[in-house]
Amino acid sequence: MSKDKYPDPREDDIYAGDRRISRPDSAIPDWHIPDAKYRPIPIAWFAAAFLVQMAVLFTIFIALSSQNGWITIALCSLATGAIGMWTWDRGMKDAGSGWRIATVVILIAQLAFVCLGASARI
């Protein structure tokens, strides 16, 4: 390659001094090592708890719609406790206080809606 031409990044490695800053098979320079490690974030734990609880409580509520409301409330409370413990074990215990509070509030709020619905059968 002549000194007058710029290298084609689709075909040639591009160097800045002794450092390769671009290569044809990757847009990442050789000195950059991408962080491929999974780093969970509190919103993922929050969303998982919310969605899992919603599905589980709905299933229990529908399955026990002909039973006494106390049975529905008791099973939904147990399920909510289990989902809360699962969420805390996944890492929510190390999250910020805002995420912890929001998670507890949403778990209690969804359980309250189920209790309200099941109270008509008590």
How high is the mean pLDDT in each 10-residue block of the chain (122 residues)? 61 66 55 59 95 98 96 98 97 94 98 97 92
Alpha-carbon gap, residue 19 to 3, rounded angstroms? 18
| DSSP state, residue 26 | B
* pLDDT for the residue numbered 2: 53
- Read off the pTM: 0.69
Cα distances (angstroms) measured from residue 39 to each of 36, 69, 94, 116: 9, 41, 13, 38
61/117 Cα distance (integer angstroms): 9
Q: Are 20 and 14 in contact (CB under 8 A)?
A: yes
Kindly calculate the radius of gyration of the chain based on its CA atoms and give it in whole angstroms: 27
